[in-house]
Structure 1
């Protein structure tokens, strides 16, 4: 959409939010509660919920205690379990959207095709599946778990069976079929025990084993009081000590995981294959009491090498072993460090993808130099490796609301200075240098593939993030 079309009369929105998951809905609720109605939420899907709408594989559930995995301003006293099932989280988000009055602001089945900063009219011009939109401020709340990552595997297009990503689950029965699962991360560890007893055979392709911790889950009784959010938050913050390279806390956590493995898998070749050679915590935490028993079933094979090639009826591992399969499931994660939306967002001097060509950078994990009036939620260095995502996202809500208040009062666009972004990037690098994410033989999706920088995780406690990044500071923005 051009500046001319904006001048021709396209209605101006104060805020356009892209994505109706946790971040997009939460910001919408905060806007609505503060009396602001001039916003729209664009969602490419047919429903709200983001990650929890998409990930409906068997066993999908949260790995953060339920009482921490909710909006602090919208508590749910009725979680059924200590770790909520995915469908329950999805329903929580759907109810929030409806009961908080967001439905009139939602544009479902409305993908963003392009967003371009219009310097003449000082606004964002959006090309969407349902027509053009002009907005003074643009909030990208697309998340980091929205675009499935599919490995480049020779011959996949020739496969005669069913092949799909775990976040695009094929609901047809797997009973009696020969199945391959690629990956041993959080999704794989949840779904493998759920399908292993139904299939004829199951081969699990493991590039590197995961440290698996006990999953202390249980159902709540209907009248039972849920744990205190503040107590759970304090407990979670203590876990950050185990993310510091060489720390006693990390050693203790590894002992717990090793005892869990040894308690469920007898000494021998399989236990050796399931034992990681990297420091615990450098990859996403995995919790399960059923994964190790599942891979010991007589109909399950752990293939301790990557998937190399696919033909019409089977698959070949990097180690040269071939397996006949009817179904191939890719539990291979998401395009997280290089979010695809960055390619379609163009600021003052180029695209967000170009700006992030050597890894995502920002100021306050929310604003980016060269992109006026743009706010990115759950983006650069805003994931937590020890705590609930809601802790960081809610701090970002406070920051964005402060910025929007300033915009309404001041009038001129907000663009953070290059110096401020570089200073924040330097801080991230200093904090990251002492963590397990940059040490301990670790290779994970938290690090950028080009620069090897830590670009996804906030390398400190959640309370520190809130202290530094929840209050909007106009002094770091370019003066008009």
Structure 2
């Protein structure tokens, strides 16, 4: 097939002139830089490779390996319930894994899945490992960004340039020490769960554990049987959930064989689990039967497992279930009652040479101090991102991160973000949300490549309207309760992490580009993309030049509703219902609650 390609040597300012020589929608070369080779970055590389030509891509990854957080997290307990999503559904929708060991697989297996995905599709060729991006600056002459990165192997700085910059550095992999005075004075062994030293042997030692978030909940029951004592420091209550809808289960050889060989067996299982995950959104809405029933169930479960009035009073929250991310606590609550576990509830005033000095006036000496204190989740870029106005996004988002649908920022053109502020990172199945973000970005890149566009960024007024809508929605969501959560910067602050709706709601919202929300600037005449009057079809001698002549109307649906009914296979499934964590089916589906 003969094709007219806008030469890669053409700069943006001459793009309009080149287009007049070719057919409508001529492709120009697009240079893309992606930051991060975790799940999102690998998916972006896959999508570009599958759907585009005449592009170049470099993925800068700070670690020695791909897979992001699943390569990084090697703390004790990661071989237990390291991901709170059933493993067969912690995969790309189009790329199942046949041989997961269990319903909740270890992070080693999850790392292997994403690493195998990269190998299968030869994605490593795009990745430069041990290269950490340290700055991105808009180039006013050429357009796009000048990107500076540090080669961590030889400590040298390199420069690169791109038309479009994609930040896929993630939200839960920029770990941080706790902001407690005196941390640097501690003379014992200091560890962080996200920067674990596997050479450290904890056997027979007195270990201090700071934090009762997801990592701390996984670590405690793993180390408790092997250490002489654990002193765990907890400053606030949290809901520790039973397994979310599915009990842990080790798959037998026969089950794995059926998944691999029996037609549709694995597909039907994955779809059933996904429907269940998508049926739990009412848990996050105040006043629903789902939330009320779940809270009653959690409260009873925690009380039964703690069997300690002192701990029950301090660890069972008085805010709604779901205000903080729900974490399946396999063995955690039971571990708190073991003889070699001491629970210290309250604030740590300072770290001393020997251990922790708490607000009860007591010092607690420990041999090893483990900080399960999480990540920097401010959404601010970890490096300067400077737009055409000279403003740095780090400064703009200093007090509150405000994005467009979690994928872009006003006044920062040609800059796209995976899992940015107010995306569905905790609303339901997260990988399906990442997929729709990648598809949305590809639609923007396609339009950039086939039109004489120089810049695209969401309008400031569109972002402002979205934030207003989001804040109004959050008033009826449990996430707005006054709990301390990484979903928001402070207990009484706005919810900056989550989407105002379900994951399915997000997928529908992202299906089409709303270009009326975007500020688009062109090189020269905005219709230069019309070219020399010839179509792409006429360039292809193997194409049917009368493809639209047929015997019946087999067009795809035009209306959004009919289009969606075709995509979601409306009419093929018996009526869906929501599911509470008690396993009880509830009728609070969107169809029942809708007032329309």
Instruction: Identify whether the pair has TM-score above 0.5, normalized to the shorter chain.
Output: yes
Closer, same or farther in 2 for the Cα pair 1:471/1:411, shift >3 Å? same
Task: State the superposition RMSD in angstroms.
Answer: 1.9
1:264 corresponds to 2:292: no
1:194 deviates by: 0.4
Counterpart among 438, 441, 452 of residue 493 in structure 2: 452
Q: For the Cα contact (< 8 Å) 2:30–2:56, is it kept in 1?
A: yes
Q: Deviations over 1:272-309 (max 9, x none)?
A: 23222221110010112300111111111111112221
1:164-243 to structure 2, matched below 5 A, reads 164-171=191-198, 172-215=200-243, 216-224=247-255, 225=259, 226=266, 228-243=269-284
Q: Helix, strand or coil: the match of 1:478?
A: strand
Q: For the Cα contact (< 8 Å) 1:18–1:112, is it kept in 2?
A: yes
Closer, same or farther in 2 for the Cα pair 1:127/1:235, shift >3 Å? same
Closer, same or farther in 2 for the Cα pair 1:470/1:329, shift >3 Å? farther
Q: For the Cα contact (< 8 Å) 2:144–2:164, is it kept in 1?
A: yes
Counterpart among 301, 308, 315 of residue 349 in structure 2: 308
Which shows bigger deviation, 441-450 or 49-58?
441-450
Please list every run of 5 or more consecutive structure 1 residues that lacks an aligned counterpart in the other structure.
Answer: 1-5
1:201 deviates by: 1.1
Counterpart among 134, 137, 153 of residue 161 in structure 2: 134
1:450 deviates by: 9.8
CA distance in 1, matches of 2:278, 2:339: 41
CA distance in 1, matches of 2:275, 2:379: 32
Closer, same or farther in 2 for the Cα pair 1:298/1:209, shift >3 Å? same
Please list every run of 5 or more consecutive structure 2 residues that lacks an aligned counterpart in the other structure.
Answer: 1-10, 13-28, 152-157, 260-265, 522-596
Counterpart among 106, 121, 125 of residue 104 in structure 1: 125
User: Considering only CA atoms, is the larger Rg found in Structure 1 or Structure 2?
Assistant: 2
1:152 deviates by: 1.8
CA distance in 2, matches of 1:448, 1:312: 31
1:463 deviates by: 0.9
1:13 deviates by: 6.0
Q: Helix, strand or coil: the match of 1:168?
A: coil
CA distance in 2, matches of 1:308, 1:126: 41
CA distance in 1, matches of 2:191, 2:387: 35
Which shows bigger deviation, 145-154 or 371-380?
145-154
Which shows bigger deviation, 179-188 or 254-263?
254-263
Q: Helix, strand or coil: the match of 1:415?
A: strand
Closer, same or farther in 2 for the Cα pair 1:450/1:438, shift >3 Å? closer
1:67-466 to structure 2, matched below 5 A, reads 67-130=88-151, 131-171=158-198, 172-215=200-243, 216-224=247-255, 225=259, 226=266, 228-341=269-382, 343-349=383-389, 350-412=391-453, 413-439=455-481, 441-449=482-490, 452-466=493-507
1:248 deviates by: 1.7
Under a length normalisation based on structure 2, what TM-score does the superposition of the two structures give?
Answer: 0.76
Q: For the Cα contact (< 8 Å) 1:117–1:347, is it kept in 2?
A: yes
Q: Deviations over 1:449-479 (max 9, x none)?
A: 3981111011311111011124323332224
Q: For the Cα contact (< 8 Å) 1:18–1:24, is it kept in 2?
A: yes
Q: For the Cα contact (< 8 Å) 2:424–2:506, is it kept in 1?
A: no
CA distance in 2, matches of 1:339, 1:220: 41
Q: Helix, strand or coil: the match of 1:329?
A: strand
Q: Deviations over 1:150-199 (max 9, x none)?
A: 22212211111111211001221001111111100111101110001111
CA distance in 1, matches of 2:67, 2:100: 17
Q: How many residues get paired?
A: 469
Q: Deviations over 1:346-394 (max 9, x none)?
A: 1122111122123111112111111111000011112433422102111
Which shows bigger deviation, 92-101 or 302-311?
302-311
Runs of 4+ deviating beyond 6 Å: none
Q: Helix, strand or coil: the match of 1:38?
A: strand
Counterpart among 28, 32, 36 of residue 15 in structure 1: 32
1:48 corresponds to 2:66: yes
Closer, same or farther in 2 for the Cα pair 1:35/1:13, shift >3 Å? closer
Q: For the Cα contact (< 8 Å) 1:398–1:471, is it kept in 2?
A: no
